Chain A
């Protein structure tokens, strides 16, 4: 078979195809601004139809999604199904669909890509994760992230849309791993916030966090993810950003609980859509069922549920048997 076209044929690349962002929240807006630096962007948002930005067309008309090649899905997890169902009416196999969710769907710890694939006809899906913040995207401050996708063209498209001199986009074919790392890191961020406020020293924080990475990696591998994904930007990178002073709401939640706030008050104080909290309970349930040790998730789930106080939580964690690393 000679003369068969391949995806790397010259001439297939030209001007960057239209990028769409689904969801006009802070992160969706930041993605739109970043992508507007490389070409035309369609922002699907009902929040602010009058928004004026260079290269950005704001609309509430989902039918326009059909013209895009790459679509970022930046709608909070709890609204995701409905948003995807609506958007799915206008999509087909051409579209590349990438989400930025840090949540999990259910007690089986299924990830957002499952929803992407089951609610829309899109198959070329991916997840963007790592220490990419609103600031990094909006102000083009130097940073990096990782795209998990089994399809190389998805990572290439994200790189084409967001990458540039200030943003390094790495790729990984371990989509499940990247999604789980993004979701489970929320637990560790909570722990860091908690430990900082309760007055633990650097050694304690380092120990808890490192053992936490081992814990989430154990869960990930039980679900078919690669353990080295957890040593990458999606998990380890996010953690280092937290230690270096990022402002993720999970940190604030941990701090509030350490100060003795009730779980509800702490959630209110942290604000934002904290997907990590529901994650703790789900991971703990999953660990029990699958006989995987998840001490950190167990303790966090109990604390957030009001079953354990801060000091009891510390005693529980420190009182465990020590094994080999």
Chain B
């Protein structure tokens, strides 16, 4: 029977391989990683052992009666998916899965295990990434220049020598606890957890790490991003592992979780977007499931158990929350439309948004360069997997500042132990903690504050109207420019007070620009990029043209709405604050 269950034989066509398999450079001149290199430089040597460990662990975890259910579930889900796909993958695998379904009930325990191994191994192999230091160095040198070229080709010609300076550094400004990040990445394993509003986020994070000479991180990327051979080449060779969101089976989810757990256990710095998908509403993430990032808690427990048996302290794991704050969001129009359709949570991948349209990219980058530092990445203070702050030496701190041992959190009666239910609870706690960090580490941008002041006016002028009624009020609400200026100034003052209390951060433009200049700056940014006019000034009156996009940009201020509202705006602010509940 096992014979009939054999896996599909690998196809021999070289051409097909080139088109479908990730391309790697030959290893002839690869060179050996040296001692001071980041951990990930030696990933390729460990790749096979990572895949084997993942497969072995997943197989060992699925035992008894649950195993039959798991295989059955996977088989039916895979058949359903592949029948719809009708591609080469379907031709390769459909037969295998159908045979599994036919024979599963009669299989012995051993045969079921063997079948599971046959399912899990290719999955793990497909997920596993690759890291080529040559590609990394190449990307480090060339990509900022490429970005600069796309953004401003004329300048590129003039100032070719300092091409790196032109692009990313002007575009993305870095702030926050970067020194701490330097120190901690030497001491332990860093798990970077940013907010997520755009597909550019992973680029922005990658670029910021490279610019700061911080070690690169491994990260999961949707398989849909691997369809373009050039992007696929870079993604695949820069440590990205592939997540196929079409596969719904529990076994696959287990493989992904185990893969990220093993990688963190082995000390690879990792990047996860704990919000899952991009924020449809433009709001800061309010509830985090953490998903794969949650495996860091298990990874820590496993390391603690191993370390204890050797009489050592485990290598610490640090979560570093990062807020990515854009003055303009590339995909804003599609995202808010999706949010308003209330499909935001259900639709996983928007197939045809601005990210896939070259002309939108060009328009976006051109607008950004004229804006200046249009994206601010703020690295927050690091916390351990249990939500405690850590000091620059990587030691966990209690709320009173005392150094505590993080192993105590995974200890039961003196021994570190594995406990999935406990770790799930820690993960939920960590999600709540990160939400708080995101709020405090947010950097409010000019476009967001201007949008908020305008949207609050709209809410104030439309009492009793619901959100959907409001976003249809195009060109109906006008506001005397002078009154706007007063309202803006008061709001900014209150926001500054919040900043002084450590509740939020504000962008440097907001510190220096006058109210009039801020409005101009926001309108210029929007007009140059978004296809619809958001607001315009006519005869000293501001006319609100696109409430939906204003909503998107102002949503970043939802957590602060009530505390920055002045007299007369309280009710509108309460309504805006209530938007958070509708997440």
- Interface residues, chain A, CB within 8 Å of chain B? 1-2, 4-7, 9, 12-13, 17, 69, 85, 88-89, 91-94, 117-121, 123-124, 150-153, 173, 222, 289-291
Contacts and interface: CB of A to CB of B under 8 A. Distances in A.
B211 to A, nearest CB: 35
A2 B302 CA distance: 11
Given A92-B408, A93-B408, A123-B429, A118 B415 contact: no
B428 A150 contact: yes
Contacts of A92: 398, 404-405, 408
Given A94-B408, A153-B422, A289-B574, A5 B402 contact: no
A88 B401 CA distance: 11
A12 B412 contact: yes
A151 B574 CA distance: 35
B402 A89 contact: yes
Contacts of A7: 412, 417-419, 422
Given A89-B400, A151-B421, A291-B578, A117 B429 contact: yes
A306 B421 CA distance: 48
Interface in B516-570: none
Given A93-B408, A94-B411, A117-B429, A123 B578 contact: no
Given A7-B412, A9-B417, A93 B387 contact: no
A5 B421 CA distance: 15
Contact of A69 (B57, B398, B402, B413): B413
Nearest to A114: B432
Given A93-B409, A151-B422, A152-B422, A12 B398 contact: no
Contact of B413 (A6, A17, A89, A119): A17
A312 to B, nearest CB: 27
A177 B232 CA distance: 46
Contacts of B422: 7, 124, 151-153
B398 A120 contact: yes
B421 A152 contact: yes
A5 B415 contact: yes
Residue in A4, A17, A91 whose Cβ sees the most chain B Cβ within 10 Å: A4
Contacts of A13: 413
Interface of B: 57, 60, 302, 305, 386-388, 398-400, 402, 404-413, 415-419, 421-422, 424-426, 428-429, 574, 577-578, 581
Contacts of B398: 88-89, 91-92, 120-121
A153 B412 contact: yes
Taking chain B's interface residues, is the majority helix, strand, or loop, or is none over half, making it mixed? helix
Nearest to A121: B398
A151 B418 CA distance: 13
Contacts of A118: 399
Given A69-B413, A121-B399, A5 B305 contact: yes
Contacts of B305: 4-5
17 contacts: A5-B417, A6-B417, A7-B419, A12-B412, A12-B413, A92-B398, A93-B386, A93-B405, A93-B406, A94-B408, A118-B399, A121-B399, A151-B422, A153-B422, A289-B574, A289-B577, A290-B578
B412 A123 contact: no
A12 B408 CA distance: 16
A237 B37 CA distance: 62
B411 A123 contact: no
Contacts of B387: 117, 123
A88 B415 contact: no
Nearest to B387: A123
Contacts of A93: 386, 404-411
A317 to B, nearest CB: 25
Nearest to A173: B425
B386 A123 contact: yes
Contacts of A124: 409, 422, 425
B60 A2 contact: yes
Contacts of A1: 57, 60, 302
A27 to B, nearest CB: 26
B581 A222 contact: yes
Nearest to B420: A6
Nearest to A86: B400
A12 B415 contact: yes
In the complex, the 8 A-B pairs of residues with the closest C-beta atoms, listed nearest first = A93-B409, A93-B408, A150-B425, A121-B398, A7-B419, A92-B408, A94-B408, A7-B417
A70 to B, nearest CB: 12
Residue in B387, B388, B406, B412 whose Cβ sees the most chain A Cβ within 10 Å: B412
Contacts of B412: 7, 12, 153
Contacts of B60: 1-2
Contacts of B388: 121
Residue in B386, B400, B574 whose Cβ sees the most chain A Cβ within 10 Å: B400
A69 B15 CA distance: 63
A69 B415 CA distance: 13
B408 A290 contact: no
Contacts of A85: 400
Contacts of A117: 387, 429
Given A13-B413, A17-B413, 9 more contacts: A2-B60, A4-B302, A6-B419, A7-B417, A7-B418, A7-B419, A93-B410, A124-B422, A153-B422
Nearest to B575: A291
A151 B386 CA distance: 13
A7 B305 CA distance: 12
Contacts of B425: 124, 150-151, 173
Nearest to B411: A94
A121 B404 contact: yes
Given A93-B406, A150-B425, A290-B581, A88 B400 contact: yes
A117 B433 CA distance: 10
A4 to B, nearest CB: 5
A93 B406 CA distance: 7
Residue in A123, A150, A152 whose Cβ sees the most chain B Cβ within 10 Å: A123
Contacts of B421: 151-152
Contacts of B577: 289
A119 B425 CA distance: 19
Contacts of B409: 93-94, 123-124
A4 B581 contact: no
Contacts of B406: 93
A151 B577 CA distance: 32
Contacts of B399: 88, 118-121
A217 B447 CA distance: 40
Contacts of A5: 305, 415-418
A90 B577 CA distance: 39
Residue in B398, B406, B411 whose Cβ sees the most chain A Cβ within 10 Å: B398
Nearest to A17: B413
A220 to B, nearest CB: 14
A12 B415 CA distance: 8
